Every structure is written in structure tokens, then in C-alpha cells.
Amino acid sequence: MRFLVALILLIFTTLSYGHETYCPQVKFNGKKIDFSKTEIQLFCGDPKSHAWKKIPAYEAEVVIRGFLQSRGYLSPRFEVKDEVLHVTKGRKSIVKKVKVISHDENLAKKIKREIRRLYQGRELTTSMLNSIEAEVIAQIRRKGRPCGKASSEVDVNTDTVTILLDPKEKHVFGKIKTEEIKGLHETALERFYPMNEHQRFDGDLLTLTERRMLRAQVVSGTYFLESCADDGKEFSLEQRFIPGPPRTLRFGAGASTEMGPIARARWSNNRWGPMASLLSASAEASFREQLLNMVVDYYAWKSNPRQSITGLAELSRDSQFEFEQLQTRARTQMKWTTDIHENGIIGILGPGYDYGTFASASKTNTQSFSTGVIEGSLQRMSHDYEIYDIHPQEGEQERLTLYYVNPTLGFKQSLTRVDTSIVRLARLMNSGRGAIIGGARLKAGTSFVRANTDPGGLPPDMKFFGGGSDDIRGYLLNTLPKNGGAGALTRLVGKFEARRTHFFLESLEGFTFLDAGYFSERSFAIDRRMFYSPGVGMRWLSPIGVVETYWARAFASNPYQDNGNFFFAGIGGNF
């Protein structure tokens, strides 16, 4: 019996730790490695390729060493016996120790701390080493050192990563040489720069500049060329563009049993005039819907490229089975942008005019309104918030919007709609390879109207609604307050969220939240009833954007009400 047990153990041991043969000329000792077909062809030879049919043993050793390094096996042993290459892959390596060698000891300490936090315990591979070097470079570029260099070495015996950091000198951005775009004034694109020439270099601000330009679609692409000379003592920047065509025109015609004949045209110019102003117009027409829209953001001042006049003219008619609505909107506003102390600030203010008529199946008499408006907004967004495309992880944003009408301007009563939004995102602590991020958003707004005004009699744009993935997450979109769709004159919503980035995977994020909000049908007052929903969820920062799923439980107080579970899954996920 003992012999039988020993035999079985021996067989299993041999199976587990025996020789793995991919081809007669290469044998691996130990557990099987899941080499890809391409990899096996590269060390065993590819019978289907004349050029790669035979791989000499020394070449097989070279490529196998590379393949093993990409899997974290850094100290393999090779031996050629009887024209057979025997490979012992050895142990897997992880980042155990990090050393940073630099003449700037303070900087070295900071970098070491951060690299240890991000990488300690992770599998040591070539791509990991590249990632470490890239992270070090990114960090010193944020500290004003564009010419810095970092290289690394690993002692495979002790799994120690040694980073050789040569930070070079600090620089300011300096005068940026820009490629000329035909027809544009040299100051036209200055409004996109978050920095000035005397400001200390920060690589992130170059990225932000690019993103601002692409988001505005003023050019198809842009990039900076950095030049370091004299061992990093001299630094210069050059910006180049992929201008792309500025104008697009599309039109079409068709028919639908629901809409009748349809005609559609759309035109836009994202680089209009010498200051790269924006101009777009669109028109759509069918029996049921007609829309005429023109938007302009006109930069008139060459000496002040961050000041513009924005305009909107829109005429729409919507003739549906149950209601008919005609709307005219016009706006002429001044717009200012500036960047101060790592913040981007946008201010818009100006008059406008709204005209509308509407009739419904239940109220067949046509009602109308015609009023002048004063509308404006002020927004501050920190650069570290703005640099994120979709899903900011740190930084601040505040936004105040103002909408004002009164009888003098033509509205039936005086109404001032003030809406504010304050967002704070902060890295609270590091946790494993990720971080715990705390987020808070406060949405407070009210429409000042005379007492006893029925919200149901006001246009939807002048009121507040709640619920949805961007608001109180346990409720459906715009279903709060639950007053039959009349909306609220005051809203106070607080959203609190704690995120754990690098949640099992680098691209996953786990979060828990509590959203709560008060509404009221009166101005500058809140009802006692609170709608709130705690929940947990997960976000996947996928290549095509944030994919979010969460579970929330919807409650209401005064009187207490449990509105049940709410599941959400979808693209997007704006906190």
C-alpha cells in the first residue's frame, strides 16, 4: 500500500514538476508555462515559414529569456545538452525594494515613497519597469523639470528596483513657438493655454492645453515638441497642429409616416475668422417638428483673445398629437475666460429673449409668453479636475448660473433662478495600489418668485427636478419631487461618495454613496421631506468610457417611505 501511495505521489509530482516539452530541441523543467503559439514558434521554429523554420539554440535562449521576463521570471537557467536546450524558469519576481539614486535627495525621497506605494508587491516585468520609469518622469515633469531623465535597473537576486534619477534643471514654460495655421491670428489660440510663459513647467498643463483645443474642436490635433539642449540647461517648446478642415455641411431629405417629409441641414465652422471663433447653424423640418438654430462664439479682440461675444438664436416648433409648442430663444452674452492659480474660470453674462406659445390636448387655448431675460454663469474649475476627460478623480469645480426675468422684460412675474453646484474630489489616502477618494457634490438652487406661485404654471426650464444617475441615484431621472411632474422651485441635494480606485484591477473602481435631497414648491425654502438613497456600485474605466453599475435603495422621510431597490447599469456615470 505504501508503495502504491508513493507511486501515485511520484506520478503526480512528475506531472506537476516534470519536463514540459514544446518541441524536441527545447525542454522546460517545472510547471507548464502558457506560451502563445507565436512564442512557441519563435523558440521551436515555425515549419510553415521557411525563414523561421530553424531557430539556433542561442537564439531560442535569447527569445525565451525575453518571454520569461514578460511573465516575471527574471533569473532562468539554460543548459544545452545533446543539442537540446534545457530551461529552468526559476521563481517569479515581484517589486520588493525600491531605491532612488539622485543628487537631489529630497526629490529622491518623494519619488521613492510614491513609487513604493504604487508598485511594491507587483510583478516585475519589462512593462512594469517601463511603467515605473514613465511614472517617475511624469512626477518630475509636474515639478518643473521637463528635461529630467530616469532609468532603472533590477537586481534579480533581491528583486530590488534601483531608479537612477537625473532631474536636470527646473524651467518655466517660456515663449512657446507655435506653428502657423493659415488664416489665424497669432493670438487666436491663446485662450486655450492654462499657463503663461513665466509659469513653472508642468507637463500636465500641456496635456490640458491639447484637451481644451480638441474639446473645442478648433483643430483636429495638436502636440508639443520639447527640446532640451546643453544637458538640460536649455529648454524650449514648440506647438504644432493638425488643423483639419474647419467647416462641415450636411443635409438630407426624406419621409416618415410619423413625421411626414423630413429635411435636415447642419453647418458648422469651428475655426471662423482670424480669431478662430465658433459658428454653427442647423435646420430641421418635418410636418411635426421644425428647428432653426444658430450658435456663435465670436472672438473679436485680437489683443484680448480670452474675451468673446456669444450668441444664440433658436426657433423651434413641435407639433405633436397631444401638444403643440413654439419656442424662440435669443441670447447675446459676453464671455470671459481666464486661468488663475491653477484654476480655469469662465464667466458669461448677457441679455436674451424668450418667446413661446404652447397648447395641449387638455388645455386647447393657446398660451404664450414673451420675455427678455438676463442670463449668466460663473464657473471655476481647477486644472487637476479639468484635465480628466470623463471621470475626474481629484480637484474642484464650482458653478453658479443665473436666470432672471421680470414684468418689465415681459414675463408675467419677476423670477430669478439661481443654481449652484459645488464639487470636491480629494485623494483621502492611499490604499494598496489604488487610493481612497472622497467626493462631495452640493447642488443648491432656487427660483425666486412671488409667493403662492404655482410651479405647474412655469416653464420647465425655470424649475428644478431630481433623480437619475447624475442626481439622487435611487430614483428615476427627473421624477423628483413626486408632485405629478410639476417640479420644484427650490432644490438642495447633497451627494457623497467614497471610491476605491484600482479595485482588484487597475481599470475597476468600487464606490459607495449616499445621495440626499430636499425640494420645495416654494422659493428659498425646503420641505421637511427628504429623499435619500444609499448604495454601492462599481465603475469600469473601459476603453470607450466609464461603464457604471450600482445598486441603490430609495427612501423618503416624513413620512418614511421605502421605495425599494434600484439597479442601474450603463455607460457614463457623472458624479
Closer residue to another protein in complex, CB, 248/483: 248
First vs last Cα of the chain: how many Å apart?
66
Determine the interface stretch with another protein among 35-43, 363-371, 413-421, 528-536 (rule: CB under 8 A): 35-43
Is position 66 an interface residue for another protein (rule: CB under 8 A)? Answer: yes
Determine the interface stretch with another protein among 106-114, 184-192, 298-306, 543-551 (rule: CB under 8 A): 543-551
Contacts to another protein from residues 366-425, by CB under 8 A:
389-390
Q: What is the closest distance, in whole angstroms, from the C-beta atom of residue 143 to another protein in the complex?
A: 20
Q: Return all residues near 378 (Cβ < 8 A) that are at least 6 apart.
A: 345, 346, 347, 348, 399, 400
**Region of residue 230 (phi > 0: left; psi between -120 and 50: alpha; otherwise: beta):** left
Is position 99 an interface residue for another protein (rule: CB under 8 A)? Answer: yes
Q: Beta strand pairing status for 415-431 and 77-81?
A: unpaired
Site string for another protein, 305-324 (x = CB under 8 A): ----------------xx--
CB atoms within 10 A of CB 508: 16
d(CA 426, CA 424): 7
Is position 155 an interface residue for another protein (rule: CB under 8 A)? Answer: yes
Range list of H helices, 126-271: 126-142, 203-216
Is position 565 an interface residue for another protein (rule: CB under 8 A)? Answer: no
Burial class (CB in 10 A: 0-12, 13-18, 19+), 394: middle
Site string for another protein, 242-281 (x = CB under 8 A): x-xx-xxxxxxxxxxxxx--x-x---x-------------
Site string for another protein, 427-446 (x = CB under 8 A): --------------------
Is position 364 an interface residue for another protein (rule: CB under 8 A)? Answer: no
Contacts to another protein from residues 452-471, by CB under 8 A:
468-469
Is position 479 an interface residue for another protein (rule: CB under 8 A)? Answer: no
Closer residue to another protein in complex, CB, 278/449: 278
Determine the interface stretch with another protein among 46-54, 301-309, 439-447, 488-496 (rule: CB under 8 A): 46-54
Closer residue to another protein in complex, CB, 66/407: 66
What proportions of the chain, in percent to the nearest 5, are helix, strand and coil? Answer: 15, 50, 35
Q: What is the closest distance, in whole angstroms, from the C-beta atom of residue 65 to another protein in the complex?
A: 4
Beta bridge partners of 519: 491
What are 561's three cell numbers?
417611505
d(CA 463, CA 246): 38
Determine the interface stretch with another protein among 181-189, 241-249, 300-308, 450-458 (rule: CB under 8 A): 241-249
Contacts to another protein from residues 181-240, by CB under 8 A:
210-211, 214-215, 217, 219-229, 238, 240
Q: Are 264 and 252 in contact (CB under 8 A)?
A: yes
Q: Return all residues near 416 (Cβ < 8 A) that are at least 6 apart.
A: 402, 403, 404, 447, 448
Closer residue to another protein in complex, CB, 91/302: 91
Is position 559 an interface residue for another protein (rule: CB under 8 A)? Answer: no
Is position 48 an interface residue for another protein (rule: CB under 8 A)? Answer: yes
48-62 per-residue burial string, b: 16 or more CB within 10 A, e: under 16: eeeeeeebeeeebbe
